[in-house]
Amino acid sequence: MGQGEEEPGRSTDRGPSGRPAPTWWTWFRGPGRRRRWRRLVLRRLLCAVCAAGALVGVLAVARAPQHGASRPVVVTTRSVAVGQLVDAGTVRVVRWPVDLVPANALHALGDVVGRRAGTPIGVGEPVTTARLSSGGLLAGQPVGMVAVHVALADAASASMVEVGEQVDLLGPDGPVARGLTVLRVDGPASGDGLGGALGPSADVGAGMVVAADAGSAAALAAAPLDALGRPTLTVVLRSR
């Protein structure tokens, strides 16, 4: 057999290296295999390899242990103003990474619900012991402020005011006090049973408690009453 001649019965196809081609290469380069068809096969094989790799990666992530411990933390679901009573609809418990939990954060709803905010608390912020009132209405207020109860001429106007809002109080002759923080809102008490003797303001006690400095407190105390002894102050709500 001459040099360069192939042994009878063996394939004459050779691979890229010049050596005798394996069976799959012979099939791939066989008669009738167009170049376009070969590219299509290669693309499909490449897609299959990529899909298998992605699947392996997803499974590895899913089976990997979750690192980092977490703790329950009470956070607010809406803004809470100074002096506002925290109820069950104002807070919820979420889990935070231990490294991000404030040292004085509260972890159970029972430690928060029913207490008043001593400082403003934004939406989603953790509730801490330092942000809750430790006592009376003036907790969290500037030094020198006093709490003053204000009776209103229109008992129904108290319903438009919420704790923590800023209000002005007006008398018959103009402003009496401005920029007062509402600490508590009182609903009207029952009437005195005198029918219409006291007119439409038979409900008594309707008003609010506000934080005021000494000058504003004196002006509120000196606010005049009408001829029937009823309050004459009107509340004006300020925009936030």
User: Residue 2: inside a domain, yes or no?
Assistant: no
Is 5 inside a domain boundary? no
Q: Number of structural domains, the chain?
A: 3
- 116 three-class SS: strand
Instruction: Spell out where 36-165 has E strands.
Output: 70-76, 91-97, 146-151
152 and 228 in a single domain? The answer is yes
Mean pLDDT of 52-72: 69
Residue 137 lies in a domain: no
pLDDT digits (tens, 9 = 90+) for 42-53: 777 777 777 777
Please give the Cα distance from 118 to 41 (Å, whole number): 71
Same domain membership, residue 214 and residue 168: yes
Strands 207-212 and 146-151, how do they pair?
A: antiparallel
Give the residue with greater pLDDT, 91 vs 45: 91
Residue 175 domain-assigned (yes or no): yes
Task: Name the pTM for this structure.
Answer: 0.46
Residues 82, 40, single domain; the answer is no
The whole domain housing 95 covers 70-131
Q: Are 226 and 191 in a shared domain?
A: yes
Check whether residue 107 and residue 163 sit in a common domain. Answer: no
Q: Is residue 9 part of a domain?
A: no
Which residues sit opposite 182 in a β-bridge? 210
pLDDT mean over 160-173: 89
Tell me whether residue 8 is in a domain: no
